[in-house]
Amino acid sequence: MSEVYAARRARLRDQCTAGGSAAAVVSRPANVRYLAGAAPRGSALLLGPRLDLLLCRSLPTGEPDEGRPDESLQVQVLSAAGGDAAVAAADLAAGQGADSLAVEEHHLTVARHRALTSVAPRLRLADLSCAVEQLRLVKDDEEISCLRIAAEIADQALGELLESILVGRTERHLALELERRLVDHGADGPAFPTSVGTGVNSGRGTHRPTDRRVEEGDFLSVCLGAAYRGYRSEIGRTFVIGTTPADWQIELYDLVFAAQRAGREALAPGAEYREVDRAARSVLDAAGYTDGLAPLTGHGVGLEIAEDPQLAPGAMGKLDACVPVTVEPGVHLPGRGGVRIDDTLVVRPEADGGPELLTITTKELLAL
Amino acid sequence: MSEVYAARRARLRDQCTAGGSAAAVVSRPANVRYLAGAAPRGSALLLGPRLDLLLCRSLPTGEPDEGRPDESLQVQVLSAAGGDAAVAAADLAAGQGADSLAVEEHHLTVARHRALTSVAPRLRLADLSCAVEQLRLVKDDEEISCLRIAAEIADQALGELLESILVGRTERHLALELERRLVDHGADGPAFPTSVGTGVNSGRGTHRPTDRRVEEGDFLSVCLGAAYRGYRSEIGRTFVIGTTPADWQIELYDLVFAAQRAGREALAPGAEYREVDRAARSVLDAAGYTDGLAPLTGHGVGLEIAEDPQLAPGAMGKLDACVPVTVEPGVHLPGRGGVRIDDTLVVRPEADGGPELLTITTKELLAL
- pLDDT of the residue at B290: 86
d(CA A209, CA B188): 10
Q: How many other β-carbons are positioned within 10 Å of the β-carbon of residue A281?
A: 24
Q: Phi/psi at A7 (nearest 5 deg)?
A: -65, -40
- pLDDT-derived band at B226, boundaries 50, 70, 90: very high
3-state secondary structure of A309: strand
- pLDDT of the residue at A81: 57
Contact B109 A105 (CB under 8 A): yes
Contact B314 A81 (CB under 8 A): yes
Nearest CB to B183 within list A108, A172, A295: A172
Segment B306-313 shows an average pLDDT of 95
DSSP 8-state class, residue A70? -
User: What's chain B's average pLDDT?
Assistant: 94
Segment B211-224 shows an average pLDDT of 96
Segment B313-329 shows an average pLDDT of 97
What's chain B's Rg over C-alpha atoms? 23
- pLDDT of the residue at A80: 63
Contact A110 B110 (CB under 8 A): yes
Predicted confidence (pLDDT) at residue B41 exceeds the cutoff of 80:
yes
- pLDDT of the residue at A49: 81
- pLDDT of the residue at B355: 97
d(CA B93, CA B99): 8
Q: Which CATH architecture has domain A2-135?
A: 3-Layer(aba) Sandwich (3.40)
DSSP 8-state class, residue A2? H
B225: left (phi over 0), alpha (psi -120 to 50) or beta: beta
- pLDDT of the residue at B82: 62
In one-letter notation, the amino acid at residue B350 is E
ipTM above 0.85, yes or no: no
Tens of pLDDT, residues B53-78: 999 988 887 777 778 899 989 999 88
Contact B105 A105 (CB under 8 A): no
Cα torsion angle, B351, B354, B355, B358, sign: negative
Cis link prior to B309 (omega < 30° from 0)?
A: yes
Contact B295 A81 (CB under 8 A): yes
Which chain B residues contact residue A66 at CB under 8 A? 208
Contact B109 A114 (CB under 8 A): no
Give the contacts of A43 (CB within 8 A, at least 6 positions apart).
A29, A32, A36, A54, A55, A56, A57, A60, A85
Q: Phi/psi at B149 (nearest 5 deg)?
A: -65, -40
- pLDDT of the residue at B48: 85
What part of B 187-216 touches A (C-beta under 8 Å)?
208, 210
Edge-to-edge order in the sheet of strand B226-228: B189-190, B226-228, B231-232
Which chain B residues contact residue A61 at CB under 8 A? 208
Instruction: Single out the residue of B329, B318, B324 nearest to residue B357, CA to CA.
Output: B324
Contact B255, B283 (CB under 8 A): yes
Helix B110-119 to helix A110-119 angle (10° resolution) is 120
Predicted confidence (pLDDT) at residue B225 exceeds the cutoff of 80:
yes
Predicted confidence (pLDDT) at residue B81 exceeds the cutoff of 60:
no
The percent of chain A in helix, strand and coil, each rounded to the nearest 5, is 35, 25, 45
Expressed in angstroms, the distance from the first to the final Cα of chain A is 44
Strands (E) in B68-218, as ranges, are 74-77, 100-103, 124-127, 189-190, 195-198
Instruction: Single out the residue of A235, A216, A239 nearest to residue A224, CA to CA.
Output: A235
Strands (E) in A191-336, as ranges, are 195-198, 219-224, 226-228, 231-232, 235-240, 298-300, 307-311, 324-327, 330-333
User: What value, to the nearest 5°, has the Cα angle with vertex A273 and ends A268 and A277?
Assistant: 100
Contact A294, A205 (CB under 8 A): yes
- pLDDT of the residue at B291: 82
Nearest CA in chain A to B79: A295
Instruction: Single out the residue of B182, B184, B138 nearest to residue B302, CA to CA.
Output: B138
Using a CB–CB cutoff of 8 Å, tell me whether A290 touches chain B. Answer: no
> Across-strand partners of B228?
B231
Which chain B residues contact residue A107 at CB under 8 A? 109
Using a CB–CB cutoff of 8 Å, tell me whether B81 touches chain A. Answer: yes
CA dist list (Å): A268 to A90, A210, A280, A325, A354 = 42, 38, 14, 11, 7
Helix extents (H) in A272-346: 273-286
CA dist list (Å): B194 to B51, B174, B229 = 41, 9, 18
- pLDDT of the residue at A187: 94
Contact A108 B109 (CB under 8 A): yes
- pLDDT of the residue at A82: 62
CA B236 to chain centre: 14
In this structure, the dihedral spanned by the alpha carbons of residues B26, B31, B34 and B39, taken in order and rounded to 10 degrees, is 80
User: Which of B28, B41, B176 to mutate against chain A (most A CBs within 10 Å)?
Assistant: B176
Contact A262, A279 (CB under 8 A): yes
Delimit the domains of chain A by residue range. Answer: 2-135, 141-357
Tens of pLDDT, residues B133-159: 999 999 999 999 999 999 999 999 999
DSSP 8-state class, residue B92? H
DSSP 8-state class, residue A109? B
Segment B28-32 shows an average pLDDT of 97
d(CA B252, CA B361): 20
d(CA B306, CA B74): 30
In one-letter notation, the amino acid at residue B1 is M
- pLDDT of the residue at B23: 94
Using a CB–CB cutoff of 8 Å, tell me whether B111 touches chain A. Answer: yes
d(CA B200, CA A311): 47
CATH number of B141-357: 3.90.230.10
Using a CB–CB cutoff of 8 Å, tell me whether B110 touches chain A. Answer: yes
Instruction: Single out the residue of A309, A306, A311 nearest to residue A294, CA to CA.
Output: A311
pLDDT, tens digit only, all 368 positions of chain A: 679 999 999 999 999 999 899 899 999 999 999 999 999 888 999 998 888 999 998 888 777 777 889 998 999 988 765 689 999 999 999 988 899 999 999 999 999 999 999 999 999 999 999 999 999 999 999 999 999 999 999 999 999 999 998 999 999 999 989 999 999 999 999 999 999 999 999 999 888 899 999 999 999 999 999 999 999 999 999 999 988 899 999 999 999 999 999 999 999 999 999 999 999 999 999 999 988 888 899 999 999 999 999 999 999 999 999 999 999 999 999 999 999 999 999 999 999 999 999 999 999 999 98
User: Which of A110, A196, A200 to mutate against chain B (most B CBs within 10 Å)?
Assistant: A110
> Across-strand partners of B44?
B55
